[in-house]
Structure 1
Amino acid sequence: MEFVQYEVENRIAYITLNRPDKRNALNYQVVAELKEAFSQASMDEEAKVVVLKANGAAFCAGADLAYLQQLQKNTYEENLEDSSHLKELFYQIYTLNKVVIAQIEGHAIAGGCGLATVCDFSFTLPEAKFGYTEVRIGFIPAIVKVFLLRKIGEIRSKQLLLTGELIDAQKAVELGLINEISDAENIKSRVNEFAQMLIENNSGQSMAFTKQMIAEVQSKTLEEGLQYAAEMNAKARASEDCQKGIAAFLNKEQVSW
């Protein structure tokens, strides 16, 4: 891949945006390579947790504006295909069978902020800025809106999406967009520490089931959601990981995940 790097270390799959000269801006190829990398991570038996990060001064500046300008010559059908390409990436990350952690060491703007939004956890530097600035260039934050409403609710989403304002890391934490702030010297070790906590303490299968349920249950009615939960509960009880975990607990043994 030209713009995305993939490596696994200590059961963590690192997916790294590597287009620093363009502030890791998104175009069709970058999105395609990210989709390929996340597909690889989902099937990689050596990786239990995924970390998304970036080389250079910016995490991701959103859509490549030169690319957007080029797309204005496209037909509606061509633009729909391109939009669906990004939609598939966001959905892939949001529903991936492994926990995804964003390690944000620079500004995350527009589509770049969207990438942070669909990750399960986000760690950032204090100087990073966040925002969905699409309305300021006559565009719309269409796809990310679906995920942002789920993540922080309507009032807070409107504040960000309709104003297009940039917010600092502390404000992003207060709004529930980001989990934690860490300084430049410690963010890598902090993300690694958090990832290793998940790896060592939790069943990968249980985290996958839980993440799947969080994604699906919100679109169901109360009765449908409870029925779905009961079915997943029954399914989990029969799983190898559940049997292993309960046996270890009853025998006062340390379970190895």
Structure 2
Amino acid sequence: MTEFTTLDIAENGVARLTMNRPDVHNAFNDAMIAELLQKLAQVDQHPRARVLVLQANGKSFSAGADLNWMRSMAEKDRAENVADASQLSLLMQRLDELSKPTFCLVQGAAFGGAVGLAACCDIALATPRASFCLSEVKIGLIPAVISPYVIRAMGVRQARRYMLTAERFDAETARACGLIHTVADDLEEALAPLLDAILANGPAALQACKTLIAQVGLQPITATVRQTTIEHIADIRVSAEGQEGLAAFLEKRSANWSRG
């Protein structure tokens, strides 16, 4: 069976999940979404995996929805469309909530749902020639299931413009909007120090930090939120990793997770 994605987990804990349909600019269909979900689950559960890099082969990161898939959706009834959209929504959720830190490397076009993939990753990098488009309204649709993640990344004001106009925008605009963190000619060169920084940090602390961000990031600072932060720091301080990290800091040595 043809695989539309590949997964490689290196000895240093870097997992590379690659979309591999370059002949159709990595457009995704139901089969590709199912593969991405299955491989995200592998990364989440793999004891060696410490960080995920989502990338794509070919000229484009992803052109969004596959034309044949879109044609098939047009022929389905509402219940079938709900079931179909639920899988794409689940993909966004699983990528957004992955317990390991996530990077996205964008080259070429990132259209429609591909913008959602970038928005769901913790850190996103793009080449100067990358281009983005929330193109759905051009064909009478809306960027519905990706909208919570895109609006969170770009802010309501910018999302209102680019969702309503469906105009293309470049990598520097994406960076200014907050969708992309870094624009670089050589994505691997720009990625390397960021991976080094992640791999130098406590694995359990990274997971706890992602949970913390998800819980308090968009909430008003209430007594409940403050209590949540108190509980989080108390838990991590008395954990095995927290104890090792504090001891290493005080003893001016490397922590055990950074010694391979």
* TM-score (normalizing by structure 1): 0.94
Verify the 8 A CA contact 1:94 1:215 in the aligned structure 2.
no
Give the secondary structure class of the aligned counterpart of 1:97. coil
> How far did 1:173 drift?
0.7
Verify the 8 A CA contact 1:124 1:180 in the aligned structure 2.
yes
Give the secondary structure class of the aligned counterpart of 1:38. helix
Equivalent residue letter for 1:31: I
Give the secondary structure class of the aligned counterpart of 1:142. coil
Q: Tell me the distance in 2 between the aligned counterparts of 1:228 and 1:81.
A: 35
Show the counterpart of 2:178.
176
Show the counterpart of 1:3.
4
Aligned counterparts, 1:44-193, within 5 A:
44-183=46-185, 186-193=186-193
Would the alpha carbon gap of residues 75 and 65 (structure 1) be closer, same or farther in structure 2, given more than 3 Å must change? Answer: same
RMSD between aligned alpha carbons? 1.4
Q: Tell me the distance in 1 between the aligned counterparts of 2:69 and 2:14.
A: 32
Equivalent residue letter for 2:58: G
For residues 56-79 of structure 1, give each alpha carbon's deviation from its aligned partner in whole angstroms, at most 9, with x where no partner exists.
111011111221121122121111
Q: Tell me the distance in 2 between the aligned counterparts of 1:32 and 1:192.
A: 29
> How far did 1:238 drift?
2.0
Equivalent residue letter for 1:247: A
Show the counterpart of 1:224.
224
Q: Tell me the distance in 2 between the aligned counterparts of 1:38 and 1:30.
A: 12
> How far did 1:205 drift?
1.1
Equivalent residue letter for 2:235: K
Show the counterpart of 1:245.
245
Q: Please, which runs of 5 or more residues in structure 2 have no aligned partner? A: none
Verify the 8 A CA contact 1:103 1:123 in the aligned structure 2.
yes
For residues 26-61 of structure 1, give each alpha carbon's deviation from its aligned partner in whole angstroms, at most 9, with x where no partner exists.
111101100111111111122211100001111011
Aligned identity (percent) is 33
Equivalent residue letter for 2:171: A
Q: Tell me the distance in 2 between the aligned counterparts of 1:96 and 1:15.
A: 13
Equivalent residue letter for 1:253: R
Runs of 4+ in 1 over 4 A off after TM superposition: 218-221
